[in-house]
Structure 1
């Protein structure tokens, strides 16, 4: 899109400032620079595509870490639910005595509590891994992205830098 931006300007400028009219030399020079800009932009598109792919990879890694936090939070809610439920069942047994049905219910919920604690531990570990992966080389990657972006602009605007 950036490479194609100057092209629609060429014909109207050339027609309005035909050869020999005042300012035509400056317009010819501007059109040459815009054409060079367009050409350099096209030459650098593959670098921008690689840069965009790299940014997409970084974004996906961050998204995975964010989703991992969500899964961990859901696992914590489940664990919290069963911890409280088991406590209430134990209190109920302590107050009203034991019955076979109540003991079975307590045993089932203690198993669910245990399973939810393991699930929470798993998600906590996974979240830690995802976050570590996202943060491990972030400054180096961001620095490389900024350097590539600067190199892109240096290359594109090189014609103006060299102009008198």
Structure 2
């Protein structure tokens, strides 16, 4: 779909305050119900547009399952032609070109963090490229490196100083293996 292709939802549905609030909160149960009520869409039409199963749409609408996957949020936005700004996403590819393109940055040069304005599209772009290893903390980097081990002299044997007895002490519950306290 391109920018000229109309969406399933009329623009007046997306302009409603209750629809905008549901989309901003990612409350897709409420949003899908409002799309059914004001947009005249069925659960099957929502499901096919968003590449979801009708059963999945049903569980979302009933509230027994929430949409937490970034990929699914993007499929809903693209399938129903919901502008990215209503969902906290970067402008979607079908929305056309952004009004003010950002100039390309020189490689290796990063301005100070206070000088960079926050851009939702940059945040979304970074988030889509995260991997599991980016999210896992490397604890080895936090602990100091172990010092090289020196061989220490062996401690004096406790059995040599006590006459060489290698008998094990009795266990707390009994006198020894298989021997009762009365047989001693």
Shorter-chain TM-score bucket reads: under 0.3
TM-score (norm 2): 0.16
Task: Tell which has more relative contact order, 1 or 2 (C-alpha 8 A, sep 6+).
Answer: 1
Q: Write 1 or 2 for the structure with the bigger share of helix.
A: 1
TM-score (norm 1): 0.18
